[in-house]
Amino acid sequence: MDRENRRVALITGATGGLGTAMCKRLITDGYRVAGTYRDKSKLSAWQLEMEKEGYFLDVFEVDVADFDSVGNTIANVEEKIGPIDVLINNAGIARDGVLRRMTKEAWDDVINTNLTSVFNTCRHVINGMIERGFGRIINISSVNAQRGQVGQTNYSAAKAGMHGFTKSLAMEVATKGITVNTISPGYIYTEIVKAIPDEIIRTKILPGIPMGRLGGTDEVAYLVSFLASDEARFITGANYAINGGQHVY
């Protein structure tokens, strides 16, 4: 990639485990990276650690569930850094609970943060990508969108909705130099998974993964890097499962 004319990548949910790995990988690839966050309490420590490791990027506060908040943030990114060439929809939350006890708030929060956010971001970047004749949109879904999971009707529905959205948008912009794909990770070694007791991981989770291990955030980031590249220009409307064989289809 021409370092004097670097492409711009925007990663939502940049300060989480997966987001951090994606930021590092795309910075290493030569992109100008912008990230979004919502939790201010962890931002300073995260930025300091990133800079200590030699990774520098611009970060922007946003509520991905709010259409106008997303629009304002994307306008700020493009004014400060440049037009967005690569969009990675990584922001997400979980509000788990069986349906018979799930609140309307828990449903709305997850659907809006995990799925409506994808509409919000894509809607604000798609016309610019069409005008420039280039774009990469990568939506981070989940293995539970494919197989379901007890206590996650909201989460699984939102992540499964990403697949339909991705395939339809991919068809709409296939002739415009834009690709749209999803990645569906299984159990990845993030802070959320690290919080699970070792006994549960050893006896309940790992036996269900044929590879017998958790995935690494760097492995997901490498797949993001590939799908963002010029070499992946003939891949669109696809879903990439990265789950160690946990769900094969």
Domain with residue 120: its CATH number is: 3.40.50.720
Q: Assess if residue 196 is contained within a domain.
A: yes
Q: Which two tokens stand for residue 53?
A: 């490791």
**pTM of the entire predicted model:** 0.95
pLDDT, residue 3, reads 43
Q: Assess if residue 40 is contained within a domain.
A: yes
- Averaged pLDDT, 50-77: 97
Q: How many domains does the chain have?
A: 1
- Averaged pLDDT, 95-101: 94
Catalytic residues: 155
Looking at this protein, which amino acid is placed at residue 237?
G
Q: Assess if residue 181 is contained within a domain.
A: yes
**Cα–Cα dist 41/147, whole Å:** 34
Residue 212 — very low, low, confident or very high, per pLDDT cuts 50/70/90? very high
Contact 141, 98 (CB under 8 A): no
* φ/ψ (deg, to 5) at 10: -115, 125
Q: Assess if residue 117 is contained within a domain.
A: yes
pLDDT, residue 1, reads 45
Closest listed residue to residue 239, CA positions, set 189, 167, 135, 178: 167
Q: What's the domain range around 81?
A: 3-237
